[in-house]
Amino acid sequence: MSNQLFTNELLEICEAAARAGGNELLEWRGKFQAREKGITDFVTDADLASEAAIRRVIASRFPNHEIIGEEQPPDKFPTESNQMNWLVDPLDGTTNYMHGYPHYAISIAIARGRELLAGVVFDPVAEMCFTATAGRGAKCNGKRMNASAVTEVGNALVAVSLPARVARDAPDLLDFVDAVQVCQAVRRSGSAALNLAYVASGALDAFWANHIHPWDVAAGVLLVREAGGIVTGRDGGEFNLWSPHFVAAATKNLHAGMLKVLAKNA
């Protein structure tokens, strides 16, 4: 099988698995009214049901591949350059999901070592499926996506991921304060996967995060790159999939501007 055909197959499995997980999340969301047990328990069950559905789809075609995710993280991240790993977040935006705020997603990517091959971010509520394969561009529901042409921080709509609780003097909060003074606007939406998908689509211009997991952002990073955007480490160095603190931006000039804004609290 050629590399292109293999990558196409990987993407097909990514999308099928993401849609299977999304169906579980929507089905479980309808059960929350029952309240026989706490809503937190329902969310945990929904998360696990989504992951189980995703794992079934992946294992049906690639039973020997490693699946890495929040529910079963590895003791240490892989270092072998040829190892195939699926990075799965069955519910990115848990708090949103719990409250019925319709902004959450499933994120699935496949990597060979540190090389991202294919990825999907699926929003089951909006039925938006963001897809990408290495070297072949990014799409939303089959239509080609391109990152925005914004070059100036002052014209940029930017997103950030922050921890649930932030101390007043925490660097994360200081970053936010610095950014809101110079960016057109800053959003904290609660889903890193969707933030990256929106940078790829041009709806957002940049996104940064300091505390994040590989499975939260692997698919989204590939989306941004394939849509023409830039992703680096927080310091401007090479992005490390297995230690993902990063800045993603639509253009080189905007990326440089965001690095300058965030350098104050590095």
CA distance linking residue 161 with residue 190, whole number of Å: 7
CA distance linking residue 226 with residue 161, whole number of Å: 22
pLDDT (tens, 9 = 90+) of the chain, 266 residues, equals 557 778 899 999 999 999 999 999 999 987 765 444 456 667 888 999 999 999 999 999 999 999 998 765 555 566 567 889 999 999 999 999 988 899 999 999 999 988 999 999 999 999 999 999 999 999 999 999 999 999 999 999 999 998 888 888 888 899 999 999 999 999 999 999 999 999 999 999 999 999 889 999 999 999 999 999 999 999 999 999 888 789 999 999 999 999 999 998 76
pTM for this predicted structure: 0.93
Category of 93 on φ-ψ map: left (φ > 0), alpha (ψ -120 to 50) or beta: left
Q: The domain that contains 253 carries what CATH number? A: 3.40.190.80
The two three-digit tokens of residue 163, written as one number: 């921890």
The answer to whether residues 8 and 120 belong to one domain is yes
The answer to whether residues 74 and 117 belong to one domain is yes
Q: What pLDDT does 159 receive?
A: 98
The answer to whether residues 106 and 164 belong to one domain is no
**Distance of CA 11 to CAs 6, 128, 141, 142, Å?**
9, 15, 13, 12
The answer to whether residues 80 and 60 belong to one domain is yes
Domain final residue, candidates 123, 144, 165: 144
Sequence-distant (≥ 6) Cβ neighbours of residue 70 within 8 angstroms: 89, 90, 213, 215
Nearest to 6, CA basis, from 88, 107, 108, 112: 112
Range of the domain at 76: 3-144
Handedness of CA 113, 116, 117, 118 (dihedral sign): positive
Per the structure, the count of domains in the chain is: 2
Q: What pLDDT does 57 receive?
A: 98
CA distance linking residue 175 with residue 29, whole number of Å: 34
Domain final residue, candidates 114, 144, 174: 144
The answer to whether residues 119 and 165 belong to one domain is no
Q: What pLDDT does 19 receive?
A: 99
The answer to whether residues 99 and 159 belong to one domain is no
The answer to whether residues 134 and 159 belong to one domain is no
The answer to whether residues 198 and 236 belong to one domain is yes
Nearest to 13, CA basis, from 105, 119, 135: 119
Q: The domain that contains 27 carries what CATH number? A: 3.30.540.10
